[in-house]
Amino acid sequence: MPRQIVLATHNPHKVEEFQAIVAATRPDVEVVGYDGPEPVEDGVTFAENALIKARAAALHTGLPALADDSGICVDVLGGAPGVFSAYWAGHAKDAVANLNLLLDQLSDIRDPHRTAQFVSTIALVIPGEVETGEHVVTGVWPGRLAEAASGGGGFGYDPIFIPDGQPADAERTIGEWGASEKNAASHRSRAFASLVPLLTAL
């Protein structure tokens, strides 16, 4: 039987993404969705919020819990939206409104000043292991922001994020990438790579 780990989110896109990322290296681990109450994410860092969510899911389900807190950090905005990425246009968590607001705020900014990073911090909480049962890792995916959305793939800010490392004459936003291509390079996959040894030790 696969070992189950609960992912502390009600976002189905994140669940699908994590299932694919985990399966690529640990097919013996099954990522299951979380149907419990959402805790108040009142942390001021990605790490604090990831731990809040993972602790709540571990307590509710009794399973080892993963939680991702992630966002886009724009250099010219001093790292904002950052931990407020999901709420940038208000508490409705409207992804389209968030993206459009960010584009509007940067409407007068041109390259090379549109640099940004996707950041993912993943917390792993293992029930019953008080002193050694919490782990936090972070992955960073550098790039810059396009001046307009492009592509129908991904979610959130993906349609305006152009990752570094692409050929200059063939640059694409993540919205134009396929799911498997994104999962192999994303900030979440980079963070998760650091968790693989810990999952092996479970």
Q: Find out whether 156 and 98 touch, Cβ atoms under 8 Å.
A: yes
Instruction: Answer whether 142's CB lies under 8 Å from 188's CB.
Output: no
Q: Contact 74/102 with Cβ under 8 angstroms?
A: yes
**Domains in the chain, start-ordered, CATH in brackets?**
3-201 (3.90.950.10)
Residue 9 known to bind ligand: yes
Is 135 annotated as contributing to ligand binding?
no
Contact indicator for 10, 34 with CB cutoff of 8 Å:
yes
**Residue 14 buriedness (CB in 10 A; 0-12 / 13-18 / 19+):** buried
In the residue annotation, 42 being an active-site residue is answered as no
**Cβ distance 73 to 138 under 8 Å?**
no
If you ran DSSP here, which 8-state letter would residue 133 be given?
A: S
Give, as one character, the DSSP assignment of residue 174.
Answer: G
187 is in an annotated binding site: yes
The alpha carbon torsion through 26, 28, 155, 117 (nearest 10 deg) reads -20
User: Is 182 known to sit in a ligand binding site?
Assistant: yes
pTM (2 d.p.): 0.91
Distance from C-alpha of 190 to C-alpha of 78, rounded to nearest angstrom: 23
Q: Which of 69, 75, 94, 108 is catalytic?
A: 69
**Residues of the chain predicted below pLDDT 70:** 1-2, 130-132, 201-202
User: Which pLDDT score is estimated for 146?
Assistant: 97
Give the per-residue pLDDT at 1.
58
